[in-house]
Amino acid sequence: MNESKITLRNVEMRFGDVVALDSTDLEVVEGQTTVLIGPSGCGKSTILRLIIGLLTPTSGVIEFEGKPVSQDNILALRRRMGYVIQDGGLFPHLTAAQNVTLMAKHLQTVQEEELQEKLDDLCELTRFPKDGLTRYAVELSGGQRQRVSLMRALTLDPDVLLLDEPLGALDPMVRASLQTELKEIFNRLGKTVILVTHDMAEAGYIGDSIVLMRAGRIAQQGTLDDLRERPADEFVSEFITAQRSLVQL
């Protein structure tokens, strides 16, 4: 259980003069939920986009199960990772069901009946109403869109789930109930999960390991207790305090 699924070694990402991610090392442990948190522009989404290959690092190496990620294997690796973004990223010209099954149908590896079963299972898992499968993205609520997006990410039964602020656009009530559901789903599936958020409570509730980032660097990595009791520097304690006082309001 303690094997490293994804490893970043001296990974740096620059856009011209702007450093999005300074030379960074990170290990994502298999079967754990790792949460990336930090203020806007700290580089937490950049890490996800580097792992799924939407960005190519300026320098350094990203390893997946010990093998370097490259242009040659990224297509195969993407099919072993599910990616969920804020607002779902559902294709508007397809129904919910078509969004979910798009990739499986494209690969033609799954039989039609098997796919139907899979769809039923996923609806159950994500508590998405089956009669909503024929609807288009615009006809779904924000929470439903995220459920469909999660279903789409899970269709090929990936090893890794990458979620970029999946609950960021939802109102607080929906958000709270989805947090609970997400945690249950992660526990049940036992997949390696990397989740980006800016909400410390969410990070502490869902994450096995929390990576707090600031200005393209990792400020501290550990459990919520580690960060709270043994902050690495002033920024860490300030970040935790700010989030806590926000909750107390």
Partner 1 sequence: MQKQQKVNGKQQNISRFTFDASRITFYTLFVLLFIYALPSADCQTISVGSKRFTESYVLGEIAKKLLEDAGYQVEFKQGMGGTIIVWEALQNGDIAMYPDYTGTIQETILKSVTPMTTEQMRAALAKHGIGITGELGFNNTYAFAMRRAHSESENIHKISDLRDHPNLNAGFTHEFLERNDGWAPLSRHYGLQIKPRGMEHALAYVALNEGEIDLMDAYSTDAKLVEYDLTVLEDNLDFFPKYNAVFLYRLDINPAAIDAIRTLEGAIDEGLMTRLNAEAERTKNFAAAVSLYFSEAESREVQVASESFLSKLVRWTGRHLMLVGVSMVIAIVVSIPLGIRASRPGILSQIIIGVPGVMQTVPSLALLAILVPVPTLGTSPATAIVALFLYSLLPIVRNTAAGLQNIPTPLRESAAALGLEPSAQLTKVYLPMASRTILAGVKTSAIINVGTATLAALIGAGGLGEPIISGLALNDAEVILQGAIPAALLAILVQVGFDALDRLIIPKGLRIEEVSQRAAAGE
C-beta of 98: minimal distance to partner 1 in Å? 9
3-state SS record for 136-186: EHHHCCHHHHHHHHHHHHHCCCCCEEEEECCCCCCCHHHHHHHHHHHHHHH
Binding residues for partner 1, rule: CB under 8 A, are 49, 52-54, 75-76, 78-79, 81, 83, 85-87, 89-95, 102-103, 106, 136-139, 152, 156
Assess contact for 139 and 56: CB atoms under 8 A.
no
Return all residues near 223 (Cβ < 8 A) that are at least 6 apart: 208, 209, 210
Q: Which is nearer to partner 1, 92 or 172 (CB)?
A: 92
* Single-letter amino acid code for the residue at 210: I
C-beta of 112: minimal distance to partner 1 in Å? 18
Q: Which is nearer to partner 1, 100 or 224 (CB)?
A: 100
Cα–Cα distance measured from residue 135 to residue 163, given in angstroms and rounded to the nearest whole number = 23
Assess contact for 4 and 28: CB atoms under 8 A.
yes
C-beta of 65: minimal distance to partner 1 in Å? 17
Could you tell me which of 69, 65, 55 has the C-alpha nearest to residue 192? 65
Q: Which is nearer to partner 1, 91 or 238 (CB)?
A: 91
C-beta of 83: minimal distance to partner 1 in Å? 4
C-beta of 240: minimal distance to partner 1 in Å? 30
How far CA 32 is from CA of 12, 87, 194, 209, in Å, comes to 24, 24, 8, 8
Q: Which is nearer to partner 1, 128 or 239 (CB)?
A: 128
C-beta of 137: minimal distance to partner 1 in Å? 7
Assess contact for 206 and 183: CB atoms under 8 A.
yes
Q: Which is nearer to partner 1, 44 or 78 (CB)?
A: 78
Cα–Cα distance measured from residue 244 to residue 249, given in angstroms and rounded to the nearest whole number = 9
Q: Which is nearer to partner 1, 139 or 184 (CB)?
A: 139
